[in-house]
Amino acid sequence: MSDPVKKYPLGGALERHYAAIVEGSNDAIITKDLTGRILSWNASATRLFGYSAHEAIGRSITMLIPDDRMDEEPEIIRRLKLGERIEHFETVRKRKDGSEVPISLTISPVRDDAGVIVAASKIARDITLQKEFEQQRDLILSEMRHRVGNCFAVAGSLLSMCAREVETAQELADLMKDRFISLSAAQSMIVGGITGQTDAGVRFSKLLETICRPFTSMSIPLDGDDFMLAPGAVTTFALVLNELCTNSVKYGAMSQSDGVIVCKSSHSEDRIRIIWEERGVFEAPPPAMLGNGFGTSMSERILRGTLSGTFKRVVSKGNLSVEIEVDRRATLENET
């Protein structure tokens, strides 16, 4: 059987040295002719794509290309025939099992003794971790933009609300200070859960009170079943309730002197249901409450990912209703 890496004679020790480098590389190294037929295939190509050298050599390189990216290969061949080297081309390729993997390709023309381009050498690097990092980075940046913008909006709304409740500048300063202290305590509860610095459960009614207190003077009692949240569920509900309060103080009932908020809870054998209602707060809902913005997406994602939950929001006839359903066993302490 011929060595799958060795294709063009380099002569003695140099050829063996080259073959050893290619075979020992952590990157997939593949050689193909100008028709796309695979000529060589190293061990890392097997690890990356799942095909052995015996399975791959002689087949078309298109076996690795997803249907929606087939137009890439003719363009690559065209540029190779012009003698171009293609560096760090990010794309997606298909494994033997049908799964797709993000890769970075560097492709160089291979010439014969006469200098004629007869083949191409491809180096493929798995960039899955890089792409996951980029997605996490973008998510964090989006969260930061959202949170920083909300901080200013909430501060402005709290100032307007507090100004309606006091008569002197000192009273306003004292009230704002109290609100910010409460807001800091609520944020500490959220951050502590995210960083794993809390391992204690919290009653839902207590969490509701703690999160809502910085935003409003109105009482928001829990109508229905109270329950002890498991530590992991505390962070999820704290984030979601904080998002509801932030929107309410900007657009909803908390921004109105006569606004009304009701929080209802109930449970079945396997699900817990929370309904957050804001009543008669606007003649026409503001666009921010209708769109699927970052805050809503975050709430949906975290509920689904941590508590097998759902998040539904309905705005109708001046009222807002948010329905949250979560898995009971994942949510309640001592249920597992």
Cβ neighbours for 105, distance < 8 A, ≥ 6 positions apart: 86, 88, 89, 90, 91, 122, 123, 124, 125
Same-domain check for residues 250 and 182: yes
Of 126, 154, 183, which residue constitutes the final position of a domain?
A: 126
Closest to 80 measured CA to CA, from 8, 31, 43: 31
Structural domain span for residue 96:
12-126
Residue 1 domain flag: no
- pTM beyond 0.75, yes or no: no
Same-domain check for residues 114 and 150: no
Residue 17 domain flag: yes
Same-domain check for residues 110 and 243: no
At residue 285's C-alpha, the angle toward residues 282 and 287, to 5°, is: 145
The tokens of 235 are what? Answer: 């962070």
Same-domain check for residues 59 and 154: no
Q: Is 37:60 a contact under the CB 8 Å cutoff?
A: yes
Q: What is the dihedral of CA 280, 325, 132, 48, to 10 degrees?
A: -150
Closest to 217 measured CA to CA, from 252, 179, 184: 179
Same-domain check for residues 324 and 214: yes
Same-domain check for residues 96 and 145: no
Q: Is 38:57 a contact under the CB 8 Å cutoff?
A: yes
Residue 103 domain flag: yes
Of 95, 126, 157, which residue constitutes the final position of a domain?
A: 126
Same-domain check for residues 71 and 148: no
Residue 60 domain flag: yes
Closest to 95 measured CA to CA, from 63, 136, 122: 63
The CATH number of whichever domain residue 117 belongs to comes to 3.30.450.20
Of 79, 108, 126, which residue constitutes the final position of a domain?
A: 126
Residue 336 domain flag: no
Same-domain check for residues 63 and 154: no
Same-domain check for residues 35 and 112: yes
Same-domain check for residues 181 and 303: yes
Same-domain check for residues 292 and 222: yes
3-state class of 124 per DSSP?
Answer: strand
Same-domain check for residues 97 and 215: no
Residue with tokens 């080297």, as numbered in its chain? 85
Q: How does pLDDT run along the chain (336 residues), one tens digit per residue?
A: 344 443 444 455 545 645 666 666 789 999 999 999 999 999 999 999 999 999 999 999 999 999 999 999 999 999 999 999 999 999 999 999 999 999 999 999 999 888 999 999 999 999 999 888 888 888 778 767 766 766 676 677 667 767 776 788 888 887 777 767 766 766 666 555 444 455 567 889 988 988 888 888 788 989 998 999 888 788 788 878 888 888 888 888 888 878 889 999 999 989 999 999 998 666 555 555 555 666 777 788 888 888 999 999 888 777 889 999 999 998 886 654
Residue 180 domain flag: yes
Backbone angles phi, psi at 160, to 5 degrees: -65, -40
Residue 3 domain flag: no
The CATH number of whichever domain residue 267 belongs to comes to 3.30.565.10
| Number of domains present in the structure of the chain | 2
